[in-house]
Structure formats: structure tokens, C-alpha cells
Amino acid sequence: MANQREYFRFTIPLEGSFSLDGRAEQPLQVVNISPGGLLGEVSAPIPAPHRAVVRLRLDGLYLEAEAMCMRADYDPPYRVAFCFLNTGNDFVSQLQSYLFHKAHPDVR
């Protein structure tokens, strides 16, 4: 099966959280990320497919997006693949800018 991902994935250490019910947040450690989604590690398995709200901490900037857990591992380490949904241009442009500057710190 061909890789049909629209964006390049960045391997940048990033922390965040997710919520499956809109209330209880659980920690999320990003393994790789793109403006279209992320692969992360969580503390316990989650069902897939399942809607969630993902929150990312980007050096003082907080981004939030609705996401769909498309794939999940049920054995440790518990990895999940989230696809961002209905993010809008502001979310994508802020995330792209952050990722570019983290990947290329010497470029202004």
C-alpha cells in the first residue's frame, strides 16, 4: 500500500494531551507530527477509530484540534495515530510555522 500522507512528518520532541470525552485529559508524547496528524505514545490503549480532542504545547503556544484516532496499538508502548479533523487554516499555518522553525532554527 502506498503512503498517501499529504504532509512531511517531523520527528520533534513534543508533549501534549488528548481527551476522548471532552473532560478528562490524558498525556500524549508525540513521536512524529505533520499538519495532517501525528503518531504518539499514550499511557494506556485507546479504541480505534475514536474521536478525540488533541492539545499540543508548542513553546508557550497551545494548539487544539479535533482528531480521529485511526490506529492504535494494544500492547506497550501504546502508540496511536491521530488524523486532525476540520482544523482550519490558522491551526495548519501555526503548526507548519512551528515545525519549520524547530527543524531549521538558523532560518529567520
Interatomic CA distance for residues 35 and 18, integer angstroms: 17
Spatial CB neighbours of 8, under 8 Å, sequence gap ≥ 6 = 34
- The pLDDT value given to residue 5: 60
Taking CA 40 as the corner, what is the angle to CA 36 and CA 107, rounded to the nearest 5 degrees?
60
Q: Would you write out the chain's pLDDT as a tens digit for each of its 108 residues?
A: 344 566 788 898 899 999 998 788 999 999 999 989 999 999 999 999 999 999 999 988 899 999 999 999 999 999 999 999 988 889 989 999 998 888 888 876
Which set of grid coordinates corresponds to residue 2?
502506498
pTM attached to this predicted model? 0.87
Peptide bond into 27 cis (omega under 30): no
